[in-house]
Amino acid sequence: MILQKSTSILSIPYSVDVDSEGNVWVTDRGNDRIQKFDKDGNFIFKFGSSGSAPGEFDNPRQAAVDEDIRYLYVVDSKNHRIQKFYTNGTFVKSWGSEGKSEGKFDLPVTVIIDSRGDILVNDRGNNRVQKFDTNGNLILAFGSTGKADVQFSGIEHMTTDKFDNIYVNDPQEGDTGSGSPRVQKFDTNGNFITKWGSYGTGNGQFKDPEHLAVDSRGYVYVSDARNNNIQVFGPIRD
């Protein structure tokens, strides 16, 4: 692995993660690489190239940096795996392969780290969420294809809040879905808590909910690709 230190352009930058020092890590999907910038947007370095060998990517979609800025986890979508690197770009290990059994993936799209340091992966082709420890050992998996609670159709991105509750964008698209997009919320063990959303252009409605985030106050931000907007939802108070 050779770090590339010249300034670079981006091609289909798909997601960003900000580490505890404010550095910005960009998943440069179209170029099959990761790029790092400081908090002011100054380029630091990049690594990665196209392929299926260790350290190479095929459509990386998201990267997540741990709290100590020691490890970086990348969801390598079309290679159907998670890759783990030191934050200098050195390859550590990978896990996963294409398949339907637990521990395998079909086009994973999201990787996030909860407050316990566990790794959550949004397994889109299998319409489920899987959780692993930092060595890639499976902790739990939940979700299946369908319209009911704890089921998904065309599962999109997810995030966690400070309590490690899990939020998942569920477009409910295609023949297996209801056509009524929604956000589903689960506890850290994958138990269903609540859901909201329906199809449309009004407040609280979606056409294609894609990315989402939760701030420190518990406010949920949902980007809707086909409505070209971002909606903000306040936390539910008991």
Q: Kindly report the CATH number assigned to the domain that includes residue 38.
A: 2.120.10.30
pLDDT beyond 80 at 168: yes
pTM, two decimals, is: 0.93
pLDDT > 90 in the chain, percent: 94
In a domain, 110, yes or no: yes
Cα pseudo-dihedral 179, 177, 153, 194, rounded to 10: 70
Does residue 128 fall inside a structural domain?
Answer: no
Q: 92 versus 2: which is more confidently predicted?
A: 92
DSSP 16: E
127, part of any domain: no
User: Does 189 share its domain with 138?
Assistant: no
Helix (H, G, I), strand (E, B) or coil at 209: strand
Neighbour-count burial of 174, counting CB atoms closer than 10 A to its CB (0-12 exposed, 13-18 middle, 19+ buried): exposed
Q: What is the total count of domains within the chain?
A: 2
Specify if 2 maps to a domain: no
Residue 34 has a pLDDT of 97
Q: Residue 36's closest CA among 56, 61, 8?
A: 8
* Residue with the larger pLDDT of the pair 135 and 3: 135
Q: Is the pLDDT of residue 3 over 70?
A: no
**Res 2: pLDDT:** 45
Q: What pLDDT is stored for residue 9 in this prediction? A: 87
Q: Which residue has the higher pLDDT, 156 or 236?
A: 156
**Residue 60 domain boundaries:** 7-121+133-142
